[in-house]
Every structure is written in structure tokens, then in C-alpha cells.
Amino acid sequence: LLLFICSHSVIQAHTVDFNFSTSNGLYCNPQTVKFTHNCSGTPTGFIWNFGNGQSGTNATENITYAAAGTYTVKLTAIYPNDAFTAVKTIVIYPTPTISLTADKNYLCQPGNVVFTAPGSAFITRYEWDFGDGSPLVTTGSHSINHNYGTYNSFTSQVKGITSHCFTATTSSPITV
């Protein structure tokens, strides 16, 4: 009579993951990003590499990205008998800049003013508010002509918007 006793052990693989977020929901530089582990089980340690020269060892880390770019973030979760790594990519977009100039800031009578808004090359649209109660104008051009029909002091404003919905705003006074 033969008796076989079989036993087997189940090795449980752990899942390693992490989430990241910002306080304002935007990812443009400079930006502080909160990284939080989302690992199964109870890791005994963490090793973070944030792709920008910074590293960390806490379960949650707050990291500031000063420059725009694409960064590879790695989290290694350490368990008593093994370690597992998760890798994700985070994109930090450049913050737009914009300025506003008018071909004239003072008019002796109602008339036209040509506005130019030089700014970052990656601005895709411009929202113009001429401060005189006229409707907001959205264009793809960094230059626009507006007719002021009444005497008064106005504050014209332009908002440059990128394809990722980041904005830069500036204004200029106009007196008619």
C-alpha cells in the first residue's frame, strides 16, 4: 500500500499600483504632484523614482516638477519575501505666457484699436474682452481690431489658452 501526501503552498502575488493628482487638477509647470501607493497587502517599504532626479521612501509623496516634460515614475513596493514595481508616465505641460499691446492707449474720439498679444507658441486660442460691454470674442489669432464707440476708460483683457486648457491672462487700459 502506497500513501502519497501532497501539499502545496499558494504564493500570493501582490499588485503594485499608484495614483497621482494635483490640488488644482492641472499639470503645468511648476506643479506639485501628490503620489499615493495603491498596493495590495502590507508592503514593508517603498522606493520611488520620480523621473526628475527626486526619489522618496514614503507611502505618499509630494513632488514638485519645475520643468515641463514627460517623466517616468517608478514605485517599488517591498514585501517580506519579494518586491514588485509599477511604472507610469506623467506629462507636465509648459505654463503659457502672454502680453498685450495696443497700437494706441488713448483716443481723442471713438475709433479702432489694434491689439496684439504675443505669447507662448503653444497658445491655440485667444479670448478677448475689450471692457466696453461688447461680447467676448474668441479667435485663433494673436491680433485683433476693435472699435470703441463711446468715450470712457476701459480695461481690455486677453486670455491665451493652450490645447490642454492652461491659460495666461493680461490686460491693458484704453482711454477714449
pTM metric for this prediction: 0.71
For the segment 164-174, the average pLDDT, to the nearest whole number, is 85
Query: Is residue 83 classed exposed, middle or buried when 0-12, 13-18 and 19+ CB atoms within 10 A define those classes?
Result: middle
Bridge pairing between strands 60-65 and 31-37: antiparallel
What is the C-alpha separation between 53 and 142, in angstroms, rounded?
37
Q: What is the pLDDT of residues 47-104, one digit of tens each?
A: 999 999 999 999 999 999 999 999 999 999 999 989 999 999 999 998 889 999 999 9
Distance CA 33, CA 16 (A): 19
Q: Supply 167's cell numbers.
A: 491659460
Range scoring the smallest mean pLDDT among 7-16, 23-32, 56-65, 143-152: 7-16
